[in-house]
């Protein structure tokens, strides 16, 4: 049994450089060498979690199996490393300070003056070590969000500095991700990296590895310059040029021999050489067929708002042997015009609130009436119920009680929810068991009668209307809570008209795609 190893990933110069992809790719390399890896994401913001954050500003809210709402980077970890995480794997300033204040109120600090050092930093260190130990992993991979020099990140970097001194040198590795920009003549400039490393050193941290993000592959001269000025070996300066796809990054790092350097520095050995990831990427590179899928949402200007949707479509494409070209359509714009889409499939994702809802309903009606393969997710599932009620059954005022008062609230809170509801207070979050009816499209897709899928919603299909829906041909083929909550709908009259109350995209992996997405893409190909 090897001693627990820690790999810390920091970033400099600017945010959005790709620390999450870098961390996930390092994790993938270690998994391919036979090691068990546990990732942790540190988010220095004061929010307890990402649940209340605006997707326009922060990208999608990713939901873990225990229902914790987190930053989208944890989705990258799950997809790349092949792990299922919980809220313990996401540390925020809000969580740390809440724990420290609760301990102070209980008297656990024995009357001491509670300070950033040592109390907050001790809380951070103990959290990291506890999660690493409880996971049974051999390597703990920690990404510190933000950039070096951010005020809110200082306690975390100080905690990391302390850990570096407390762990054996061969058990601790620091990876620093920086920007290597090109000037107007195309020359790679190292000064931003030099300043970033200088800032890191000023707080007592020296990087062991520098990952240089650049539009082009780092030249040998650039690597030597970074090595000289930042005091790392040339072989520890790793090129992270722009990739055609994020799933290429682990292979790029392998070409740079980052995996060999890491195991050498940590005193490890390569146990095995798995090529599953490489084989998946080869399939991705050689997709011959193409389909066009319209994603109709209200956050399409910030495509990270639908990152897991985009990746799940890609995964399904790998499985089906085709490239999925996504056409992003603003649902608000559809409200003011007739819907005409030259696409092979339509997907309406989740989202809260009435803005853009009527545009999504128009897109669903267009898909149903023109027999275009359709997948509705969460709110998209609910709007498909509303569209059917209005245009097939004839309840023109059908709606969700979340959106408007109506005599036909086909989407509503259940009675017990109404008694205790506060905004978000009755949210269903995380893994919930779904029962699938045999002989349905859902059963054909999943191949089983019990599945666990992740949820993030409050409102439900109103049970009193279900008999009328099924009488008119809309089938609810999946349910939970003893049949009280509808989870999957399908309309067998169409080639593929499918909806899920849950978010199947959160469990989709490039080597294990989500069944509803595979169904949509294959139907778009005419192969379902």
3-state class (DSSP) for residue 113: coil
Closest CA to 459 of 427, 499, 419: 427
Residue 66: CB atoms within 10 A of its CB come to: 15
235 is catalytic: no
Q: Which of 60, 143, 460, 505 is catalytic?
A: 505
Distance CA 210, CA 203 (A): 17
- DSSP helix/strand/coil, 50: coil
Cβ–Cβ under 8 Å, residues 508 and 311: yes
Catalytic residue among 143, 378, 402, 460: 378
7, 8, 392, 459 from 232: Cα distances, Å = 16, 16, 68, 55
Q: Is 140 a catalytic residue?
A: no
Q: Is 378 a catalytic residue?
A: yes
151 contact partners, CB below 8 Å, separation of at least 6: none
Show the tokens assigned to 320.
Answer: 């089906």
SS3 283: helix
CB-side neighbour CA atoms (13 Å) of 187: 6
Are 320 and 526 in contact by the 8 Å Cβ rule? The answer is no
Half-sphere exposure of 59 (CA within 13 A, CB side): 15
Structure tokens given for 227: 């090595």
**Which among 58, 176, 315, 503 is annotated as catalytic?**
503
How is 244-308 classified by DSSP, letter by letter?
SSGGGHHHHHHHTTHHHHHHHHTT--------HHHHHHHHHHT--EEEEEEEEES-TTSGGGGHH
Residues whose CB is less than 8 angstroms from the CB of residue 518 and which lie 6 or more positions away in sequence, other chains included:
316, 319, 320, 445
Q: What angle do CA 88, 93, 94 make, to 5 degrees?
A: 80
Phi, psi of 273 (to 5 degrees): -130, 90
Backbone angles phi and psi of 334, in degrees to 5: -70, -25
Q: Give the active site residues.
A: 378, 503, 505
């Amino acid at each position: 049994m090897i001693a627990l190893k820690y790999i810390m990933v920091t970033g400099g110069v600017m945010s959005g450089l790709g620390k999450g992809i870098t961390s996930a790719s390092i994790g993938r390399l270690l998994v391919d060498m036979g090691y068990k890896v546990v990732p942790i994401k540190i988010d220095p913001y004061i929010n307890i979690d990402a649940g209340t954050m605006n997707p326009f500003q922060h990208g999608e809210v990713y939901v873990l199996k225990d229902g914790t709402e987190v930053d989208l980077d944890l989705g990258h970890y799950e997809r790349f490393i092949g792990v299922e995480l919980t809220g313990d794997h996401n540390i925020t300033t809000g969580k740390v300070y809440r724990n420290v204040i609760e301990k102070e109120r209980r008297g656990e600090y024995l009357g001491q003056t509670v300070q950033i050092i040592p109390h907050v930093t001790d809380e951070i260190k103990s959290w990291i070590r506890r999660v690493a130990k409880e996971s049974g992993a051999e390597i703990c991979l920690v990404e510190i969000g933000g950039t070096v020099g951010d005020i809110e990140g200082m306690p975390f970097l100080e905690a990391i500095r302390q850990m570096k001194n407390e762990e054996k040198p061969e058990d601790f590795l620091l990876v620093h991700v920086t920007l290597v920009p090109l000037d107007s003549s195309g020359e790679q400039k190292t000064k931003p990296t030099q300043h970033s490393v200088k800032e890191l050193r000023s707080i007592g941290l020296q990087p062991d590895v520098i990952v240089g993000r650049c539009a082009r592959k780092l030249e040998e001269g650039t690597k030597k310059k970074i090595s000289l000025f930042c005091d790392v070996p040339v072989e520890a300066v790793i090129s992270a040029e722009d990739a055609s796809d994020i799933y290429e990054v682990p292979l790029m790092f392998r070409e740079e021999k980052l995996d060999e350097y890491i195991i050498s520095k940590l005193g490890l050995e390569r146990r095995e050489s798995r090529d599953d990831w490489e084989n998946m990427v080869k399939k991705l590179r050689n997709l011959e067929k193409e389909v066009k899928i319209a994603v109709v949402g209200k956050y399409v200007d910030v495509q990270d708002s639908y990152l897991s949707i985009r990746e799940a479509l890609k995964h399904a494409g790998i499985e089906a042997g085709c490239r999925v070209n996504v056409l992003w359509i603003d649902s608000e714009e559809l409200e003011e015009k007739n819907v005409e889409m030259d696409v092979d499939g339509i997907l309406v994702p989740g989202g809260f609130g009435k803005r853009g809802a009527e545009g999504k309903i128009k897109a669903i009606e267009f898909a149903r009436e023109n027999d275009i393969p359709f997948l509705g997710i969460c709110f998209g599932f609910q709007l498909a119920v509303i569209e059917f009620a209005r245009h097939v059954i004839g309840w023109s005022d059908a709606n969700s009680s979340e959106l408007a008062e109506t005599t036909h609230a086909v989407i509503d809170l259940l009675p017990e929810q109404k008694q205790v509801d506060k905004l978000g207070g009755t949210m269903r979050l995380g893994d919930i068991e779904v029962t699938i009816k045999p002989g349905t499209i859902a059963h054909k897709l999943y191949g089983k009668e019990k599945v666990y899928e992740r949820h993030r919603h409050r409102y439900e299909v109103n049970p009193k209307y279900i008999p009328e829906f099924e009488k008119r041909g809309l089938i609810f083929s999946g349910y939970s809570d003893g049949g009280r909550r509808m989870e999957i709908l399908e309309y067998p009259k169409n080639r593929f008209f499918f909806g899920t109350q849950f978010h199947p995209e959160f469990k989709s992996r490039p080597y294990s795609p989500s069944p509803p997405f595979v169904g949509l893409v294959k139907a778009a190909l005419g192969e379902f």
